[in-house]
Amino acid sequence: MTELLTAAQMRAIEQAAIASGTVTGLALMERAGAGVVKAILAEWPELAEGRQASTGALPRTPGYFRTENAGRRALVLCGPGNNGGDGFVVARLLRARGWEVRVHLYGDAAKLPPNARANHDRWRGMGDVSRWAAASILGQAETMAPDVIVDAVFGTGLTRPLPPEVAAVMTALPAGRRVAVDAPSGLCMDSGRVLGAAAVCATLTVTFHAPKLGHVLAEGPFRCGVLRLVDIGLGPQDRADRNAHAIVRLEEGTGQLFKDPHAHKFDHGHALILSGGPGRGGAARLSARAALRVGAGLVTLGCPPDAMAENAARLDAIMLRQVGGEGLAQVLADRRINALCLGPGFGLGALQARHVAEALDSGRALVLDADALTLLARDAGLFAMLHADCVLTPHAGEFTRLFPDITARLAKPALGGPAFSKVDAARAAAARAGCVVLFKGPDTVIAAPSGACRINAAVYDRAVPWLATAGSGDVLAGMITGLLARDFGAFEAACTGAWLHVEAARSFGPGLIAEDLPEELPKVFRGLRL
């Protein structure tokens, strides 16, 4: 499972590898720069065309290779840290391929960290380094018409907004192939948020060893363009000494979806989905259908007496029970009902609040979505009843209602790194609620009170914009409820449900409506060879 690293974790891994003597910082930088060049040529194979120049001491006459090569040109923008060091490696390796390369440095060469300085000096044996001047860089970007512009200004070490003279360049780069080394400069790699107001919009971002949180959260995917990962030989980590809950993973895979071929339907649990009144049952029916398709043995829809006829006409495999003013006690007397879902199309009245209280009081595994989240936000007493087997599934608006102070921290302009992130927000919410919180979005974050955290990233190749459709959240709530009925723990149910939800959408493709999602699950399961 892919681990997502913070900038500090990446630094620690690098330092541990160097301290162990298995690799030098200079070797890592060389591999990083070489990886960037390889990724550029893989992304745009047409750039590989042209005559190869020999390596070694090359004349420093600008434009020397202009007539020698296929006319490939790169503008490399380097910064004051090791990201800039990677940039000097890229410049050298492109030049060695016969490219014309122009390099600009933001900062003072004498103050570069040692490895970056060493690569600066090696590059100086091949070409010039111009001092940073916004007008001349932008002018050169126009007149030179580079095939590639390399952003090696700031990487994981960015701690504050881009200086104005850097922002002036990075936000005005011409369209074309803009390659970010490790990170688009201006982006906080712990949060995916832009520090201040300016960051590069790259077409290709090449990162090293493992993706960072900022590559998948918030604005990260939109700023990175295509994301490529380069192995720089740091190897698998020994994480024994690290707090497992500090690690954020990308959600991927099947969890415990397999079913025992000898099992009975009652072995797969019984989910109860509560519905709203007449004419409002569609949302709960979607949830119920998803719970059944994801493999709950039995699913019952509970609805008010006046909605019985409507639901009876619409349901077959899903059972129907009347749940009215008499409360939930009678239904829950059936101990086989082991997972509940309240919220989709539910209603916001006193009776619904009472049903939420009864459901919480029953101690059953529980998904609270939509209207149930609004009821929780209105009533501190209800909120206080949340327990470890609950899953809250708020979208951004519901999250704000439930945790206004946490949203306020997230909404505050990010001026310093590491900026408060959606991961921080979901973790804080889960700790306060004492249950699992699934904070929706293209970067869905699932957090448990323990600090355990995963991101279900529907970005890059996994983007599913057509999932933003009415009723899709009701289906997600139902999938999670069905998995709870199948005895998944709350955290695993939320993670696996979120993953399947995106997989179903990807499998169906454009044109998807919420009804299609549960019906697509069998195909997803077949693909998983369940």
Ligand X SMILES: NC(=O)C1=CN([C@@H]2O[C@H](COP(=O)(O)OP(=O)(O)OC[C@H]3O[C@@H](n4cnc5c(N)ncnc54)[C@H](O)[C@@H]3O)[C@@H](O)[C@H]2O)[C@@H](O)CC1
Binding site for K ion (CB under 5 A): 151, 155, 180-181, 185
Distance (Å, whole) CA 200 – CA 223: 7
Distance (Å, whole) CA 117 – CA 94: 19
Helix/strand/coil for 196: coil
Residue 21 CB burial class (10 angstroms; 0-12, 13-18, ≥19): exposed
Residue 10 binds which of K ion, ligand X, none (CB < 5-8 A, kind-dependent): ligand X
Sequence-distant (6+) residues with CB within 8 A of 432 are: 403
Cβ atoms of residues 302 and 273 within 8 Å: yes
Distance (Å, whole) CA 325 – CA 345: 18
* Site for ligand X contains 418 (CB under 6 A): no
What's the token pair of residue 93?
Answer: 């390796």
Find the distance separating the first CA and the last CA of the chain, reported in whole Å: 19
174 is in an annotated binding site: no
Q: Cα–Cα–Cα angle for 76, 72, 130, nearest 5°?
A: 30
Among 155, 344, 394, 418, contact with ligand X (rule: CB under 6 A)? 155
443 is in an annotated binding site: yes
Measured from the CB of residue 115, what is the shortest distance to K ion in angstroms?
16
CA 23 remoteness from chain centre: 30
Nearest to 55 by CA among 103, 95, 101, 102: 95
283 is in an annotated binding site: yes
Distance (Å, whole) CA 128 – CA 137: 14
Residue 283 binds which of K ion, ligand X, none (CB < 5-8 A, kind-dependent): none
Residue 297 binds which of ligand X, K ion, none (CB < 5-8 A, kind-dependent): none
Among 146, 157, 297, 418, contact with ligand X (rule: CB under 6 A)? 157
160 is in an annotated binding site: yes
- Entry field: residues in the chain: 530
CB 477: neighbour CB atoms within 10 A?
30
Nearer to ligand X, 11 or 314 (CB): 11
Buried b / exposed e over 136-169, threshold 16 CB at 10 Å, is ebeebbeeeebbbbbbbbbbbbbeebbeeebbeb
Interface region with ligand X, contact rule CB under 6 A, candidates 160-168, 305-313, 424-432, 441-449: 160-168
Residue 185 binds which of K ion, ligand X, none (CB < 5-8 A, kind-dependent): K ion
Among 65, 154, 399, 439, contact with ligand X (rule: CB under 6 A)? 154
- Answer positive or negative: Cα dihedral of 478, 483, 485, 491: negative
Q: Which residue has the tokens 């921290």?
A: 409
Among 24, 130, 159, 256, contact with ligand X (rule: CB under 6 A)? 159
Cβ atoms of residues 203 and 226 within 8 Å: yes
Measured from the CB of residue 134, what is the shortest distance to ligand X in angstroms?
14
241 is in an annotated binding site: no
Binding residues among 336-355 for ligand X as defined by CB under 6 A: none
Residue 19 CB burial class (10 angstroms; 0-12, 13-18, ≥19): exposed
82 is in an annotated binding site: yes
Measured from the CB of residue 73, what is the shortest distance to ligand X in angstroms?
23
Measured from the CB of residue 47, what is the shortest distance to ligand X in angstroms?
21
Task: Write the DSSP symbol of residue 48.
Answer: G
Residue 424 binds which of ligand X, K ion, none (CB < 5-8 A, kind-dependent): none
Nearer to ligand X, 109 or 385 (CB): 109
Measured from the CB of residue 21, what is the shortest distance to ligand X in angstroms?
15
Measured from the CB of residue 160, what is the shortest distance to K ion in angstroms?
15
Residue 32 binds which of K ion, ligand X, none (CB < 5-8 A, kind-dependent): ligand X
Nearer to ligand X, 28 or 514 (CB): 28
Site string for ligand X, 56-95 (x = CB under 6 A): -----------------------xxxxxxxx---------
Helix/strand/coil for 434: coil
Q: Which residues pair with 443 in a beta bridge?
A: 457
Among 65, 208, 499, 508, contact with ligand X (rule: CB under 6 A)? 208
Site string for ligand X, 18-47 (x = CB under 6 A): ----------xx--x---------------
Distance (Å, whole) CA 301 – CA 97: 67
Pairing mode, strands 129-131 and 177-181 = unpaired
H helix intervals, 281-369: 282-293, 308-314, 329-332, 350-361
Residue 149 binds which of ligand X, K ion, none (CB < 5-8 A, kind-dependent): none
Measured from the CB of residue 85, what is the shortest distance to ligand X in angstroms?
6
151 is in an annotated binding site: yes
CB 348: neighbour CB atoms within 10 A?
13
Nearer to K ion, 153 or 447 (CB): 153
Nearest to 491 by CA among 515, 456, 530: 456
Interface region with ligand X, contact rule CB under 6 A, candidates 151-159, 222-230, 367-375, 511-519: 151-159
369 is in an annotated binding site: no
Phi, psi of 111 (to 5 degrees): -100, 5
Residue 455 binds which of ligand X, K ion, none (CB < 5-8 A, kind-dependent): none
Among 5, 6, 9, 10, contact with ligand X (rule: CB under 6 A)? 10
128 is in an annotated binding site: no
Sequence-distant (6+) residues with CB within 8 A of 46 are: none
Residue 151 binds which of K ion, ligand X, none (CB < 5-8 A, kind-dependent): K ion
Nearer to ligand X, 189 or 446 (CB): 189
156 is in an annotated binding site: yes
Q: Which residues are annotated as a binding site for AMP?
A: 440-444, 473
* Footprint on this chain of ligand X (rule: CB under 6 A): 10-11, 14, 28-29, 32, 79-86, 113, 154-163, 181-183, 208, 232
Binding residue ranges for (6S)-NADPHX: 82-86, 155-161, 182, 283, 345, 395, 474
